[in-house]
Amino acid sequence: MAASNFSEVVGSASSSKKLINLLRGHVSFPSLPPAPLLLLAALGPLWPNTSLLPTRLIEKGTRRVLQDPSIAFPALLYAPDNGDLKLRQNLASWLTDFYQPAAPISDERIAVTGGASQNLANLLQVFTDPVYTRNVWIVAPAYMLAFRIFDDSGLKLRAVPEDEQGIDIKYLRSEIRKTEDRAQAQSNSSEPIKPQRPWSKFYRHVIYAVPTFSNPSFKTMTRKRREQLVGLAREYDALIITDDVYDFLQWPSSLTAKDVSLDKAILPRIVDVDRYHDGGAEREGADGFGNSVSNGSFSKIAGPGLRTGWCEGTSKLVYGVSQTGSSRSGGAPSQIAATFLAEMLASGDLQRHVYEVLQPSYGRRYRKMVTVIEKELIPLGARLPQTDRDIVGGYFIWLTLPSGIESTAVVQRAKEEENVVVAQGEIFEVPGDTEHAGTHFENDIRMCFAWEDEDALAEGIERLARVIRTLQSEQQDRGAQSAQSATQHGTTVASAKDFW
Ligand SMILES: Cc1ncc(COP(=O)(O)O)c(C=O)c1O
């Protein structure tokens, strides 16, 4: 039922097989655009299966707000600049409990936002300048819908590859250094074109990452890399913006994993590292804004239609966010949704929904998919990242295809022959910066297990395996044919050994 409205657009129009959508996206074209564009548009942000939306809990929260005029009237009027106080307080206490920082998180470190994407735009408005800010460094493969948000702010995009530990710090350091050296050689101090404001500052660089259960790479950045990244950001006056939107959606990677507590985060966020590492934002010589900000969201744990999130950083930086022009005009966004969510957190309903419904459901979905991947795809030569983790999470799995198999062919043939849709790795490349190793993803696909009906996930992988097997046997046939024709023409075919 879930995917049926979309079959005519994202799936095969002629297939007799039921569409299996491991891509999940929303399409709203009045007429069909060309195929590559269609795929991009179809991707959209990720959606949860509708059976996982906490409709009744939201209704309960809504009633609590609307039946009590002392809550309902402020809820229906303009918000404070930094958002509903009860939501900020309840969030502060849940985040403290989940991330377990050395000292409690105060509500002054939190502002209510219109979700992670809306707040990414706000952060760029307040803390970057299109001339002064040299680059935004994006961990690749990247959440592709962020690209336009960076574009809107006039920033120059650069890609930074990941390895098995997360962001490639060495590469990032050397590229930032080169940028700085070039600017110095040209005596380019790049004075800001925007006015300086007492509540904000302009950072020289922005670094954008999804450090935990990343969209799309599915990787988690190690603690060491998080610390190194904070150190680098301080050195080069960079603001690290992290979308920490999947952190709560975690489960054991295998059924036999022991001693895992899923109501605690596996690692500190980068914003937590920045708070304490080497004296934090209050260390000698620092300006108090800090070098990181965390974007949280209710989209993945309650419902994207609520369009509400939060950001956390130093109280100085968060005050700056609350002074964005649009928030000074009528206060923080999403005020009424914020009051519903405050009630859901105060009663513990939302936390229980996360721990008792979402984590087990997504864990089950994940395991169904990964079990078939291990049985059908790994023997063909496909690879999964970071296979040694005890806890995994998020919405999807990133798969490197067997060597010689390109994602373009897999995506196209899977759609035409098996009516199964997956996301092609190239969609997650940073536009204009794909030359360096690890920034081009022609052999990768991303598969989402959050949207499609649970029963269809295993079949989706089986269909995909059929496609890959067919492509591999076609590849072998072509190899055999060209060997034969080379022999007929009196030449020998070189093997890899000939080059050793
Ligand atoms: C990394 C990342 N950031 C942001 C978002 C969107 O979050 P929000 O709905 O809070 O704007 C998504 C959703 O797919 C995401 O994967």
Tell me, in angstroms, the distance from the centre of ligand 1 to residue 493's CA.
50
- Is the pLDDT at 381 greater than 90? The verdict is yes
Give the pLDDT of residue 5: 41
Q: Which of 215, 306, 308, 427 to mutate to test the pocket of ligand 1 (most atoms within 8 A of CB)?
A: 215
Indicate the top mutation candidate among 148, 149, 297, 334 to test ligand 1's pocket, ranked by most ligand atoms within 8 A of CB.
Answer: 297
> Alpha-carbon distance 85 to 445, whole Å?
42
Looking from the CA of residue 117, the nearest atom of ligand 1 is: 11
- Give mean pLDDT, residues 141-152: 97
Q: Mind listing the pLDDT tens digit for each residue in 276-302?
A: 999 999 999 999 999 999 999 999 999
Select from 82, 104, 103 the least CA-distant residue to 310. Answer: 82
Question: For residue 402, is pLDDT > 80?
Answer: yes
Strand 309-312 and strand 110-113: pairing? Answer: antiparallel
Report whether pLDDT(120) > 80. Answer: yes
- pLDDT band at residue 498 under the 50/70/90 scheme: very low
What is residue 205's three-state secondary structure?
strand
Pocket around ligand 1: residues whose beta carbon is below 6 Å from it? 45-46, 115-117, 143, 210, 215, 243, 245, 297, 299, 304, 309
Task: Return the pLDDT at 261.
Answer: 86
161-194 pLDDT tens trace: 999 999 999 999 999 999 999 998 988 778 999 9
The mean pLDDT value of the chain amounts to 91
> What pLDDT is recorded for position 478?
87
Query: Atom 3 in ligand 1: which residue has the minimum CA distance?
Result: 243
Ligand 1 atom index nearest CA of 309: 10
d(CA 184, CA 93): 46
pLDDT, mean of residues 60-64? 97
Query: pLDDT at position 479, please?
Result: 82
Do the beta carbons of residue 217 and residue 398 sit within 8 Å? yes
Which ligand 1 atom is nearest residue 143's CA? 1
> Range with the lowest mean pLDDT among 4-8, 153-157, 452-456?
4-8
Is 259 a residue whose pLDDT tops 80?
no
* Range from 146-155, 259-268, 343-352 carrying the lowest mean pLDDT: 259-268
384, pLDDT greater than 70: yes
For residues 374-380, give the mean pLDDT.
98
Residue 25 has pLDDT above 70, yes or no: no
Whether pLDDT at 6 is above 90: no
CB 421 within 8 A of CB 414: yes
Atom of ligand 1 nearest to the CA of 46: 14
Give the bridge partners for 139, in sequence order.
160
CA of 245 to the centre of ligand 1 (A): 7
Percentage above 70 pLDDT, the chain: 90
Q: At residue 137, does pLDDT exceed 50?
A: yes
The reported pLDDT for the residue numbered 486 is 67
Report how far ligand 1's centroid is from the alpha carbon of 45 (Å). Answer: 6
Q: Closest ligand 1 atom, CA of 115?
A: 10
Residue 130 DSSP one-character state: T
Determine contact, residues 155/193, Cβ cutoff 8 Å. no
Looking up tokens 């799995």 gives 397
- The stretch 16-38 carries a mean pLDDT of 59
383 secondary structure, DSSP code: B
- How does strand 292-297 pair with strand 391-393? unpaired
